[in-house]
Amino acid sequence: MSKPFYITTPIYYVNDRPHIGHAYTTIAADMMARFHRIAGREAFFLTGTDEHGTKIAEAAEAAGVSEIEFCDGNVAKFKDVWTKLDIKYDYFVRTTSERHLEAVRKILDVMREAKSDDGQEVVYSDFYEGLYCKGCEKFMTEKELVDGKCSDHQTVPEKVKEKNYFFRLTAFLPTIKEKIESGELQILPDERRREVLGLLNQDLPDFSLSRERVKWGVPLTFDPSQVAYVWIDALSNYISAIGYADNETEFKKWWYDSEVVHLMAKDILKFHCLYWPAMLMAAGLPLPEKMFLHGYFTVNGTKMSKSLGNFIDPVDMIEEFGSDSTRYLLLTQYPFGLDGDIQANRFVIQYNSDLANDLGNLVSRVGKMIAVNFNGKMPSPSSGLAGMQDLMKLTERAPGEAYEHVKHFRLSHAIATGLNLVKAANKFFDETKPWVLAREGKTKELGGVLYACCEVLRIVSILLYPVMPNKMSELRKMLSLDDSTLTLDHAATFFDQAVGATIDVSEPLFPRKDVKKKTEAKAKPAKSKQVNDDNLIDISDFGKVKLKVAVVLSAEKVEGADRLLKLQIDAGKGKKQIVAGIAEHYTPEQIVGKKVIVVANLKPAVIRGIESNGMLLAAKKGKKLFVVTPDGDLPPGAGVS
Ligand code: ME8
């Protein structure tokens, strides 16, 4: 009997609602947990939210609510999306929960007492020196400053020296290296392992384990004037959630006696592959067995971003395709583990080809022939049909192959194993021509072909269940199968269905989608997403927009574009260029010298080949446009709220 399987996703930041990147990792973990379960293994699947730190506190402030209210709001959005996506986690950890806080306090205490192999204290106090912006309440790097100033507050940050507690990372690095090299700690795929070993060859410093000025965090047990560094807090979730501080039996089972797998993308490699093992060693705990760091994806070839219009909201995708197809489409875009591209503009085409045409069509053509020729009851199997041996061999190999793929994190391959069976059954159907067998009255052969196809469908309903749990359960209902046979063992035997069972496919499993309609809808995202008075946004969304007073320094018409003016403005940080669609309403002379309100934190865009670094606000009355001007003598750069 294999040992239990414990899989985790990162705990996601709650400064915003979940996006498709979060969904990707979470669906993958859910698929793995479900696959191990149908293979007879006990599995525990953990996900959750990372709720402390300056970033969250700032977002809460911008939204005008308390930190915890803000977190509660976004946690609800995460949970809602996971429910909509049929994510069956066993526990949802929140870093603001008392259970988690207790565990962080415990690991802090244990680490504080710990000594490294050479007898030195693991946690020591020292001074941290940095540039601190009072307005932002945070340390800043030289790189973040503009002309030596904080760009938000226009102030020169103070040089500050504060007492911090440090974690003696350097004492653990040689052992971590050994454990990775020996395979005791498996970093997967191999490219990521090499990346970690590369990091280990550099001179990595100890890291600061506490922050004096951050308020939204877990106070240190041994010095409550400081809070724990967010990563110390966040990484501890993997043990707080399984009883580190409050349930010895559960903790022993899932941490000591299980195959522990941390799943994430490569962006958080250093924290997981170096800091976390070091923390665990300091706390005298065993290391996880595996860390799998999948790639980072782009959408339609570019980094996903709201301003580029290629941002995919999981909720929109579920509304369009349903939960199962969303899960399927996301995990089959490119090989799991690598960097890749999510081709959102091809979703409909792929849905129609794999799900509606291949799988959906097999179900419907087989079901319809059983309805017409066998009164909707499963016919008897028959041996000796042409092509049947090949189909059976392929089918009997599939469960083992698919499970091997899952064990090695080749999720897209595992899914393809199921879909290849569907393609093979469609080929078998085409080649045995059951409609001719029916016409010629060859009932025995006809029944044999349809029985074999139903067997493939039954096995596919098991193999694809982990990625499409609802649709595969629906398919099983169509075949009169219950959950007691939803196991990998049952997928390994052919001729397992009861003759005479009701086969009812009256509803299409994957109705075809209209490519044209969807493509048109995709082509006009801006219009359909326009905010009107009835389409309310969260206050947190508004908080993201930085509005500033600016003065127009100069203006000129853009050649070949009747509506556009190129403006040089000062929004408090020197000259900035924007392109505005106001040329039909203002001449350059009329707009120069005016004070306007601009959106100051827009990503640069290129309009008619000219870079534009912001937008100005204007209001419309009929066809006439008026720029919005501040009421009062406000200096350029004054914030508008
Ligand atoms: O880093 N491609 O949280 P986070 C693939 N709170 N995966 C992506 C992705 C993309 N383009 N974008 C996001 C944090 N992800 C910390 C983690 S854990 C102790 C603390 C997924 O909200 C991927 O799993 O920034 C990545 O590792 C994670 O979201 C980062 O989520």
Residue nearest to atom 8 of ligand 1 (CA): 21
Beta bridge partners of 569: 552, 576
Q: What CATH architecture is 340-491?
A: Orthogonal Bundle (1.10)
- Structure tokens given for 491: 């997928």
Q: Is 524 among the catalytic positions?
A: no
In this structure, is the dihedral angle defined by the CA atoms of residues 407, 410, 413 and 415, taken in order, positive or negative? positive
Residues of the chain with CATH 3.40.50.620: 5-295
Which ranges of the chain have pLDDT less than 50? 518-535
Q: How far is the CA of 157 from the centre of ligand 1 (A)?
A: 30
Q: Is 136 among the catalytic positions?
A: yes
pLDDT digit string, tens, across residues 359-389: 999 999 999 999 999 999 999 999 889 899 9
301 burial (CB, 10 Å; 0-12 / 13-18 / 19+) is exposed
pLDDT of residue 593: 86
Reduced to 3 states (helix: H, G, I; strand: E, B; else coil), residue 64 is coil
Q: Return the best residue to mutate from 50, 267, 339, 412 for the ligand 1 pocket (most ligand atoms within 8 A of CB).
A: 267
Q: Is 453 among the catalytic positions?
A: no
Q: Is 595 among the catalytic positions?
A: no
Q: How far is the CA of 102 from the centre of ligand 1 (A)?
A: 25
Residue nearest to atom 19 of ligand 1 (CA): 235
| Residue 370: alpha-carbon gap to chain centroid | 42
User: CATH 2.40.50.140: does it fit domain 533-640?
Assistant: yes
User: Residue 293 CA: which ligand 1 atom is closest?
Assistant: 27
C-alpha to C-alpha distance for 481 and 476, rounded to whole angstroms: 5
Residues of the chain with CATH 2.40.50.140: 533-640
C-alpha to C-alpha distance for 481 and 293, rounded to whole angstroms: 37
C-alpha to C-alpha distance for 97 and 586, rounded to whole angstroms: 56
pLDDT of residue 538: 59
Residues of the chain with CATH 1.10.730.10: 340-491
Q: Is 52 among the catalytic positions?
A: no
pLDDT digit string, tens, across residues 499-523: 999 999 989 999 999 876 543 434 3
| Phi/psi at 8 (5° precision) | -125, 150
531 burial (CB, 10 Å; 0-12 / 13-18 / 19+) is exposed
Q: What is the pTM of this model?
A: 0.80
pLDDT of residue 635: 82
Residue nearest to atom 15 of ligand 1 (CA): 21
pLDDT of residue 498: 94
For the domain made up of 5-295, give the CATH fold: Rossmann fold (3.40.50)
Q: How many CB atoms lie within 10 A of CB 219?
A: 17
Buried b / exposed e over 174-194, threshold 16 CB at 10 Å, is ebbbebbeeeebbbbbeebbe
| Phi/psi at 603 (5° precision) | -65, 145
Q: How far is the CA of 267 from the centre of ligand 1 (A)?
A: 7
Residue nearest to atom 5 of ligand 1 (CA): 296
Active-site entry in 134, 252, 303, 477:
303
Dihedral angle computed from the Cα positions of residues 272, 273, 275 and 279, in that order, rounded to the nearest 10 degrees: 90
Q: Return the best residue to mutate from 56, 268, 279 for the ligand 1 pocket (most ligand atoms within 8 A of CB).
A: 268
Q: Return the best residue to mutate from 12, 270, 275 for the ligand 1 pocket (most ligand atoms within 8 A of CB).
A: 12
- For the chain, state the CA radius of gyration: 30
